[in-house]
Amino acid sequence: MDKAKINSCFIKIAALLGVLAVILGAFGAHGLKTKVSSQALTVFEVGVRYQMYHVFALLLTGILFIAGDQKRLVWAGRLFIAGIILFSGSLYALTFVMDAGNPALLKLGIITPLGGVCFIAGWLFLALAFWKKQAI
């Protein structure tokens, strides 16, 4: 496992996902405001908010990579990325199908909790990476 490549990769991915979150946030505030219902817009905003929260978590994971249990930090980073894709991604998709009138498409919402589980597991792996590292 090349430490420099992994932490650099997490930092690069965090930066790109951060850029995407800002673009999507601006799109939601200006482009979607009059195009979707207020309920759909709220769903979109939750996706952007959680994406940005976990961009910071991924960035932190990359920065702290050399100081903690690297196997657990790799898992934390992977889970944060998966969570962003599954949780935020499914909310973005739901935004556009909520007003479409096709109830079958609303089944995309089944994916959202899987992303939430990835977020929770990512935070647990981040904590565990430093659990035994404390020297008192």
- Of 48, 50, 44, 109, give the one whose Cα is nearest residue 80: 50
Please give the average per-residue pLDDT across 13-34, as a whole number.
95
CA–CA separation, 80 and 116 (whole Å): 10
Return the pLDDT at 99.
80
Average pLDDT over residues 2-20: 89
What burial class does residue 35 get, using C-beta atoms within 10 Å of its C-beta: 0-12 exposed, 13-18 middle, 19+ buried?
exposed
Q: What mean pLDDT is predicted for residues 14-26?
A: 97
CA atoms within 13 A on the CB side of 30: 6
pTM: predicted TM-score of the whole model, two decimal places: 0.91
List C-alpha distances in Å: 33 to 42, 91, 96, 100, 102. Answer: 10, 16, 12, 16, 21
pLDDT single digits (tens) 56-112 = 999 999 999 988 899 999 999 999 999 999 999 999 999 988 887 777 777 888 999
* pLDDT for 97: 87
Report the distance separating Cα 19 and Cα 107, nearest Å.
28
Mean pLDDT, residues 129-135: 73
Mean pLDDT of the chain: 91
pLDDT in tens, 119-128: 999 999 999 9
The span from the CA of 87 to the CA of 109, in Å, is: 9
